Structures are given as C-alpha cells and as structure tokens.
Amino acid sequence: MPAYHPPRIETPPAFREASAAPRPRRRCRSTGGRGSAIPRSISLEARIPANPRLAEALARYDAARASLAEAKAARAPTIDATARTMENRLSDGRPMRGPFPLRYADDSLGAALSYHPDLWGRVRAGVAAGRAEASAGAEDVAAVRLSLQAMLADTYLVLRGQDERIALLSRTVDAFTRADGLTQRRHEGGIASGLDTGRAGTQLEEARALLAQARLDRAVAEHAVAALVGASASAFTLPVGSLPVRMPTLAPGTPAAMLASRPDVAAAERRMAAANARVGLARTAFFPDVALDAQAGLQSGGIARLLRASNLFWSIGPAAVLNLFDGGRRRAGSRGRRRNGTAPPPTIAPPSSTPVARSRTHWPPNASWPRRARPSAARRTRRRRSMRWRSTAM
C-alpha cells in the first residue's frame, strides 16, 4: 500500500499586522448550548435529529461502518460445519461397470476450515480504506449537523428580528392611526387641508402594509424552523419573544482558522486516504491468492455405523491461484485506482456556497430585509388620494 501523508498547508505564525496568531479550534462542533445567547434555539437543537438530511447522513455512516466490519472479518479464518445423508443408485448401463452394488447410502459429518493469509497486504488495504471511509462518514454527519444548527440559529434570529419589527410596526400603526384621526378632525375644523389628510392616510396605509408583510415573513421563518426540526408546519408554533443578543469576541483570523477545521474538509481528506488505500488493494490483484484449507469428519454407508473411529477422514494443505489472463481487467483497475489516489485534493466549496452560508439566504428569502417589503397597495392608495387632493384643491 502506498505511503499516505495528509496534505499540509503552511500558514504563517502570525499576521503581519497582528502581534499574535489565533489558536484554531480542533473541529467546528456545536457548543451544546454552553455560552449561547439564544436559549430557545438551544431547546430546538435537540430536535434536529428528526431532520431527514441528518437521518440520511447517519444511514450512510452506518453503512460505512458495516463495510469496515466486513473488511476486518477477512482477517479471521472461515469455519463451516457440514452434515449430509444421501441415498444413491447407480445406472445399470454405466461404462466400466464393476461388481459394486447399484444402491448405497452415503452419510457424512464434518467440518471445514479455510484461511487466507494476508501475504500481500490485501486485507490491510481493505481495512484501511474502510476505516477512512467510516471516518469520512462521521465527518459528513458532523457537517450536516453543523449546517442544520447554523441554519436553525440563523432562522431563529430572523424570526426574533421579525418579532421586534412587528412590535415596532404595531406601535407605528397605532401612532399613525391617532395622527390620521387628529388630521381628520383638524380638516373638519378647517385647520388642515385635504393634502394633509391624504398624507396622513397614506402613511397609515403604508405602515399597515409593512406590518402585514412583516407578519407574513415571520410565518415563513416559523415554517422554516419547523422544517429544520422535522415538525409539521401546521402544528408547530413559536411564541412571540425578544432576543438579547451578545456578540462573541473573535480574535483576528479566527474564521480562517476555523475554515481549515471544517468537517467537510476533514471528510474530503479522509476520502483521499481511502482512495490511496484502494491503490494498494488494486495492486494485490497481481499476486497469487494463497489459502490454507483443512477439513475433517466421519463418513460411512449408514447412520448407524457413522460414529466409528475407522470412518474418520481428513485433509489439509495450502492452495494458490494465480490469474494468468483477464483481458487487462486488473491492469485497468489498478490504473484507475492509482489515478483516483494521486489526484489533487477535491476542491472544497467556498463558504458562500456551503449549506452553512446558504442558510443566510434560504430561510426565509426576504424575511430579514425590511427594504424588500412591497407596499404596492399603499402606493396605489397614495396615487388615488393624490388625485383626490387635486380635485379638493381645485
């Protein structure tokens, strides 16, 4: 098996503009709620295992572990027990017929052992490849869990932001409603003009439109949280609340240091190790397959006479099989595995395209940006009232 060395990236000990370098974390993992400023989101994280994406990743990890156990089992010998009782009749017209009975019984009881010594490293290479694939599967599970946790935290922040926005817009609507009533009374008393009443009514309608849009965006964010925790959107609700956010203090370069310890980066490195191990596995196909076989048991022409010492038989000895011609199948397989093992590291998607980063725009698409609210009804009302103002002024 070719020697494998994980890729290393030389990084400077410190930034030129900084006096000390950050200490990177070992892996990007969830803190489990310790030191977090969103306690409600912490309770929701416990329901993430119900998400189908995480269940799919766990199933792939279990399959990789099963493959590893299967590869490890090849290091042990195979032992089989056999038992047979048969009644035979020979043909009358068989060639070279001798003075043998035409009908006889054949009963046997025995055991067989087969062991394939790992002379060329075939089993070791298979175990190394299976172990690397299992490690990659574990990192995939961690990456999916981290992605879901980031999406849940981001969506929860968006939802609480919408709660604050709804509270602000509700107070704004109440204030504009009182202002509009006051302007109407002033207009009735001859103090305010029709332009003033139209402006006050337009402001009120625009605030109501923004409030309706904010409530819709909150519902979208709430449904997104339900999807992330694997709950039904119709039966899942989050009460209105506030969110005291405490921003963490990050040392310079911390995001870059954490980027190198992302679970998906570690999974890609483990798959490179598995591909390297499969190169050695493909090379062993050019060597003979050596096996040590042994069998022993009892055989007789009747069950009543089976358990006798004279009916004992046994055989033991090595065997070797070498493939002389296969049409180039082994050579092609070895060349393909070698190319996979010596290929450059897979390109890791930039943070802007990873699920963790995409969560900032997926849930919901326009919930966190008040400017994207579209008060088209308010604009139409403003246009109609402007026409009414002109007629009143005339």
Tokens for 94? 């068989």
Cβ atoms of 38 and 243 closer than 8 Å: yes
Is residue 120 within 8 Å of 104, Cβ to Cβ? no
Pick from 69-73, 87-91, 197-201, 220-224: least confident: 87-91
Half-sphere exposure of 343 (CA within 13 A, CB side): 16
Q: Report pLDDT digits (tens) over 118-134.
A: 888 888 888 988 999 99
Q: CA-CA distances (angstroms) from residue 92 to 96, 97, 105, 110, 376?
A: 11, 8, 17, 31, 101
Beta strand residue intervals within 116-187, DSSP E = none
- Count of C-beta atoms within a 10 Å radius of residue 387: 11
pLDDT confidence bin for 4, thresholds 50/70/90 = confident
Band (369; pLDDT cuts 50, 70, 90)? very low
> Are 231 and 47 in contact, with CB atoms under 8 Å apart?
yes
Beta strand 289-300 with 78-89 is unpaired
Q: Quick one: pLDDT at residue 29?
A: 52
Of 24-33, 99-108, 192-201, 224-233, the least confident: 24-33
Q: For residues 270 and 131, is the Cβ–Cβ distance under 8 A?
A: no
- What DSSP assignment string belongs to 279-306? HHHHHGGGS-EEEEEEEEEEEESSGGG-
Chain mean pLDDT for the chain: 77
Reference 168, options 378, 5, 373; nearest CA is 373
Contact yes or no for 298/306 (Cβ under 8 A): yes
Lowest-pLDDT choice from 88-97, 245-254, 360-369: 360-369
User: Does residue 345 carry a pLDDT above 70?
Assistant: no
CA–CA distances in Å: residue 174 to residues 177, 179, 180, 348: 5, 9, 10, 51
Strands across the sheet containing 103-115: 78-89, 103-115, 289-300, 312-321
C-alpha span between 103 and 264 (Å, rounded):
69
Sign of CA dihedral 215, 221, 223, 225: negative
Q: What is the pTM of this model?
A: 0.64
Which value, in Å, is the radius of gyration of the alpha carbons in the chain? 38
Give the closest residue to 38 by CA, choosing from 161, 145, 157, 146.
157
Q: Which of 45-49, 170-174, 356-360 has the highest mean pLDDT?
A: 170-174
Residue 206 has pLDDT above 90, yes or no: yes
- 173 versus 364: the higher-pLDDT residue is 173
DSSP state of 340: H
pLDDT given for residue 223 in this prediction: 92
Q: Considering only 5-19, 66-80, 260-274, which range has the smallest mean pLDDT?
A: 5-19
Looking at the predicted structure, is the pLDDT value of residue 361 above 50? no
* pLDDT, mean of residues 197-210: 91
Regarding predicted confidence, which is higher, 174 or 149?
174
d(CA 194, CA 184): 9
Share of the chain above pLDDT 70, in %: 71
